[in-house]
Structure 1
Amino acid sequence: MTTLGPTGGERQIPHHTIRSAHIVGDDGEESVLATVYCPLRERSATVRECESCRRFHALHFDKISRTTAVVCDASPAASGTADADPLRSVGVDVPVNPEAPLAEIMTKDVICIRSEVSLDDITALLVRYEISGMPVVDAAGRPVGMVSRADVLRAAEERGDTEEAQRVAVRSGEAAPLDMEQGFHVVEPVRVTARNVMTPVVVQLHESASIRQAASLMAYEGVHRLPVVSDDGKVVGIVSSLDVLRWFGRCCGYLIPLSRKRA
C-alpha cells in the first residue's frame, strides 16, 4: 500500500507481519496467540490494539508468502525503510548490519507445546511441520523448556523395545481390572511427556534484540534455536542458526529462496 509523501510522490507504508504462536495441549486442541511488533511502542500488540490505533491503515494478505500483515505507519521517523524486508532486496554493495532487528529474520509462525503432550504426539508434530524443535510453554504461553528432535531420539533409544510400566493398585472393595489368577498383577505403561524429555533451562531473547545478539548467544550456549519473547514473556517467534545463515547469505548477494520449513 502506498500514500502520497511530503513532496507529492508515492511513499510505501510499512507492513508489519502478524506472528502466531500455535500452542498444542494434551487433548490435541490448538490455541493461537497472534501478535504484531510495534516499532513505535517497541513492544508486541494484539491486532485489535492495532486496529484501534490512528496510524492503522489495513490488514494485508500476501499470496506468495501466505502471511498477513498490519499496514501501519508506526515506524519512527529516523528508521526510514527499516520495516521493509531487506532480505529480498539487498545487493552485494550493501554492508551486513549485525544490529538489524531480530524480527526481520525470526520465524513468526511458531509451533509450541504444553509439558503434558506425549512423546508420540511430539514426534508427529515434528514430522508434520518439518521442524527440528519447539518451545514448551506454560498455560500463559511463556517458555519453560525446549524439546528437539535429538531429545525425542534420545528418549526412544533409552526406552528401547520395552516401555517402563507401573503397577496398578486395586483398593479394597474395587473390582479387579482383569480376572487373574493369584500371583499375577496388572501394569500400565508409563506415559512419557514433553516434561520428561525437554531441556528445562530456556535460553531466550527479547523481540527487540539484534541479529548480532542472537548469533552470539546461540554460539555461546551451543544451541540451534532460541524462542523470542515479548515484554510479558510470551513466545512470539523463534530464531534458528539457519535463519542467521540465510540472512547473511542474502546480505552477500546470493539468491536464497524463502524457507518453507519453520526451523
Structure 2
Amino acid sequence: MTTLGPINGEHPIPRHALRSTRIVGDDGEESVVATVYCPLKERSATVPECESCTRFHALHFDAPSRRTSVVCDTGQWTSEVKSADPLASVSDHVNPAAPLAGIMTRDVLCVRPEVTVDEITTLLVRHGISGMPVVDADGKPVGMVSRADLLRTAQERGDTEESERATLHLDEVAPLDIELEQGFHVVAPVKVTARDVMTPVVVQLHESASIRQAASLMAYEGVHRLPVVSDDGRVVGILSSLDVLRWFGRSCGYLIPPARMRV
C-alpha cells in the first residue's frame, strides 16, 4: 500500500492496488478476475463496491508500473489499528501484524486440474515463476503444482511415454493411410495433467491474515509459497518466501528493487 498525500492536512490517502487472478483452462484460454483488498472490511471487494463507499476518491493509474489502484481514505482506520495492537509499537516501520494483502503478489496465475504438464512447464518458463495454484471451476485452490513436481514426474516417467489403445473410426482415417496388419493397433500417448502431479494438500491463508502468521505457517509447513484467498475461498493472490524477505528488508530501511515484472 502506498500513499498520495494528506487529506486536509490530517491523514494520507492510501492507494490499494487492484489484484488480478488469471486462470488458464485446458483449452489454453485465460479468464481474469480483478479485486482489491479493503482494510476497513478486511476482505476483497470489487471496484463497483469501492466506488459506492463514502471513503472512495478515485482510481489511479501509475504509468511506470502500469498498475491501477483504488484511492481512498483509511488513515483514521490505520491509526486506530496501530493504537489497538500491542505489537504495532515494536517498531514504527517493521509491523509484523500488518495484513499480508499488502505484500503478496497481486497478479497470480492459476491453472485448472485438466491442464497438461507440458502446458504448465511452458507457463512456468514464460512467466518466470516456480509454482502456481491449481483451482477448481469456482477459482478455489485444490492443490499446488511446482517445478519440483514436474521434475519428479519426469524422473518417474523416464524415457518412456505412457500410452493407451485408441479406437479410430473410419471417417477419421485418411484414404491414403496404410492399413494395419493383424496384430497391430494404434496407441495414443496418455496426457499427464496438473491433477496427476500436484500436491493436493493446500496450505492457505485468508487475505486479512498477518505477515507474522504467514511467515510462521510457511516455516512450520516447510513451503515456499501460499495461496491467499478471499472470504468465498477464491484465490486473490500468492505469497512467496521472497515476498516476506523483500518486505522485511524494506521495513529495515534497505533499498530492495521490486520483483521482476512477469509478462
Q: Could you say which TM-score interval applies, normalised by the shorter chain?
A: 0.7 to 0.9
Deviation track 1:138-185 (CA, whole Å, cap 9, x = no partner) reads 1111000000011111112222222100012468xx678562000111
Aligned to 2:84: none
Q: Does 1:166 align with 2:164?
A: yes
Structure 2 contact 35–47 (Cα < 8 Å) conserved: yes
- TM-superposed deviation, 1:25: 0.6
Query: Aligned letter for 1:64?
Result: P
* Partner Cα separation in structure 2 for residue 165 and residue 212 of structure 1: 47
* Partner Cα separation in structure 1 for residue 222 and residue 7 of structure 2: 48
Deviation track 1:233-259 (CA, whole Å, cap 9, x = no partner) reads 000010011111111122222211111
Query: Using a 3 Å threshold, how does the CA distance of structure 1 residues 206 and 155 change in structure 2: closer, same or farther?
Result: same
* Partner Cα separation in structure 1 for residue 11 and residue 213 of structure 2: 32
| TM-score normalised over the length of structure 2 | 0.87
Instruction: Say which of 131, 142, 147 aligns to 1:144.
Output: 142
More helix by share: 2
Provide runs of 4+ in structure 1 moved above 6 Å. none
Three-state SS of the structure 2 residue aligned to 1:218 is helix
Q: Among all aligned residue pairs of Structure 1 and Structure 2, give the percentage whose two residues are the same amino acid.
A: 72
Q: Does 1:72 align with 2:72?
A: yes
Aligned to 2:87: none
Aligned to 1:97: 95
| TM-score normalised over the length of structure 1 | 0.87
Aligned to 1:189: 189
* Partner Cα separation in structure 2 for residue 4 and residue 78 of structure 1: 14
- TM-superposed deviation, 1:2: 4.5
Tell me how many residue pairs correspond in the alignment: 247
Name stretches of at least 5 consecutive residues in structure 2 with no aligned partner.
82-90
Structure 1 segment 9-24 matched on structure 2, within 5 A: 9=9, 11-24=11-24
Deviation track 1:45-81 (CA, whole Å, cap 9, x = no partner) reads 11121122232211111123321100112x2624139
Structure 1 segment 1-263 matched on structure 2, within 5 A: 1-2=4-5, 4-5=7-8, 9=9, 11-73=11-73, 75=74, 77-80=76-79, 94=92, 96-169=94-167, 179-260=179-260
- TM-superposed deviation, 1:18: 0.6
Structure 1 contact 21–33 (Cα < 8 Å) conserved: yes
For the aligned residue pairs, the C-alpha RMSD in angstroms reads 2.2
Query: Using a 3 Å threshold, how does the CA distance of structure 1 residues 80 and 33 change in structure 2: closer, same or farther?
Result: same
Three-state SS of the structure 2 residue aligned to 1:232 is coil
Query: Aligned letter for 2:78?
Result: S
